[in-house]
Amino acid sequence: MLRVLIVRFSSIGDVLLTTPLVRALRRRHPDAELVFVTKRAMFPLVSDNPHLTLVAALEPGEGVTHLAGRLRALAPTHGLDLHGSLRSVALRALVRARWAGYRKRKLARTLLVATKVDAYGTPTPVPERYFEAARRLDVSPDGGAPEFHLGPAARDRVASWLEERGLATAPLVALAPGAAHATKRWAVRHWIELIDRLGAQGLQPVVLGGPGDRGIAQQLPAPSAAGEFSLQETGALLARSRVVVSGDTGVMHMATGVGAPVVALFGPTVAQFGFFPYRAPHTVLQHDLACRPCSSMGSARCPHGHHRCLESIAAAAVAGAVQQLVA
């Protein structure tokens, strides 16, 4: 019996980008047991994935040794380390299996940020890089998008939320203004202008995000679900949306996972890093500046002080991109 551990502890986008590999493994090995290993906070992203046999969640405060004991009891035959962290390396040492990982291209990433020298060659999206870890298992990308499977409870909660606000039949455009790093955030004044333009187009903006995004959401003249929904419920709202507007964040990948078209705003990060929207309807708005990329993940402030990469993306251009995807 083929039993495969698929290890990716975080974060939202990284976990969802493993799902094309999960799907390919299930199709190639229909009788295999596929066990996804992730943090409890990420559990909802894969809990309803029909291709998985089991999701093993690392609980808050649980040590890797204890987790390894639980995984050893499953007697895995193969392990796919899709994280490459100290925790996943320790897991590889503690759980006996045929382990493999993938190249994170750290040197190429560092060179591009520090010197703007592109050593990547042909850019390979991260979902396809993950397949390097499964080279022994005879799988290849099928050309499909990531998958974020939702449970009925999440869909019902969102349907009720929309009904209460008179938005059940509205042509929704989901806006995700938040980001963990400041340089990935589009300015509030741009979001306000975009909301005005979308309203003039007959579209209904709705703001979403996590608890940390409530402050931004309160500044925007649109209904907000920021901080109100779970990951699955956020996914259900995205699935009800005609288009999603987001920066380079996990919400962008959640949207592609539920089949919602995306307008993605990219500033400090670039396509070579592998995180552009994958195999789903999308438009990426960016400007080719000599200072890009300035970071692989974003930072607290623009190192040049101007933040031109996102400041120069006009609300009119975003509204136009939304209109094209709606059409």
Domain 157-326 has CATH 3.40.50.720: no
Ordered alpha helix ranges (H), the chain: 12-16, 19-28, 64-72, 86-94, 106-115, 126-129, 152-164, 188-200, 214-218, 231-239, 250-257, 308-311, 315-326
Backbone angles phi, psi at 22, to 5 degrees: -55, -45
CA dist 36 and 52 (Å) reads 7
In 201-314, alpha helices (H) = 214-218, 231-239, 250-257, 308-311
Report the pLDDT value the prediction gives residue 123, as an integer from 0 to 100: 85
Amino acid present at 51? H
Q: What's the pLDDT score for residue 306?
A: 96
Tell me the domain boundaries of the chain.
3-133, 157-326
Residues in the chain: 327
Q: Give me the residues paired with residue 207 across strands.
A: 175, 224
CA 28 – CA 132 distance, rounded (Å): 16
3, β-bridge pairs? 33
Place of tokens 């405060």: 61
pLDDT at 22: 98
- Please state, in angstroms and rounded to a whole number, the distance separating the CA atoms of residues 119 and 284: 22
Edge-to-edge strands, sheet with 243-247: 204-207, 172-176, 243-247, 262-265, 282-285
Query: Does this chain's domain 3-133 share its CATH topology with 157-326?
Result: yes
| DSSP track, 117-175 | -----S---HHHHGGGGGGGGT----SPPP-----HHHHHHHHHHHHHTT-TTS-EEEE
Q: What is the pTM of this model?
A: 0.97
CATH superfamily of 3-133: Glycogen Phosphorylase B; (3.40.50.2000)
Averaged pLDDT, groups of 10, the chain, 327 residues long: 97 98 98 98 98 98 98 98 97 98 95 96 94 98 98 98 98 97 97 98 98 96 98 98 98 98 98 97 97 96 96 98 97
Give CA–CA dist 105/111, Å, rounded. Answer: 10
DSSP state, residue 186: P
- The rounded distance, in Å, linking the Cα atoms of 221 and 103 is 44
* 3-state SS class at 36: strand
